[in-house]
Amino acid sequence: MPSIMVVEDNHELRALLTDYLSKYGYQCKAIENFQDVLTEFQETQPDLVLLDINLPAFDGFYWCRQIRRHSKCPIIFISAREGTMDQVMAIENGADDYITKPFSFEIVTAKVKSQLRRTMGEYAFKQEEKAIEFEGLTYYPEKLELEFNGQTCELSKKEAAMIEVLLERGDKITSRDRLMEKMWDTDMFVDENTLNVYISRLRKLLKDMGIVDAIETVRGAGYRIKNTWDG
């Protein structure tokens, strides 16, 4: 997964940035030695740098120039300076983008993705998909596979969309509308009988894996999955 070096001297903001980006699958290295950012960069070899301007000893413009002598790694400035000249200086010193404080973390993530897509390709930075598990029944989104008790079962995209919602919700009820929206990703009318067909298919797949009556119909409300295999 892509690595990001965060060069920000505000401890609270630095922690928020690294925590937020880590949740999206990035490996974050927060720099605390602002006396020699270049050495930290060379030791870390990140795929992208988030760099503040106002830093102890030397400012972000200086460190941007130093990094540029050794690497074409994307550099995004994050600064409270809103002036046009500051943004121009950032670009002239080798930066790829500029974000002003206060900022939305969603904007930071979008700009990070954009720069990594440009330098690493469409799929190189793709976030690792995490397995979804409910009491021993596990779904792997990247493989469209369901696993239970050492057995694996391949799912169609519609079956996968259905089991993903049900496992995420666990023993909470999932409405028919929510399931249809997830499976067909549309506001257009979908015949409910079609949903019933997929419910039946999924029940059969689970039965073949030794799981019986796990998908419960809650009359007038929807469906939920329950643990019927431990009792």
Q: Which domains does the chain have, with CATH numbers?
A: 3-120 (3.40.50.2300), 132-225 (1.10.10.10)
Instruction: Name every residue whose Cβ is closer than 8 Å to that of residue 230 and which is 6 or more positions away in sequence.
Output: 135, 136
- Report the distance separating Cα 171 and Cα 105, nearest Å: 32
Asked if pLDDT for residue 58 goes beyond 50, the answer is yes
Q: What amino acid occupies position 123?
A: Y
- Report the distance separating Cα 132 and Cα 117, nearest Å: 27
Task: State mean pLDDT over 117-145.
Answer: 75
Question: In terms of Cα–Cα distance, which of 53, 103, 64 is closest to 112?
Answer: 103
pLDDT, tens digit, 9 for 90 and up, residues 176-219: 888 888 777 654 455 678 888 889 999 999 999 999 999 999 99
Q: What is the mean pLDDT of the chain?
A: 87
- Report the distance separating Cα 80 and Cα 125, nearest Å: 28
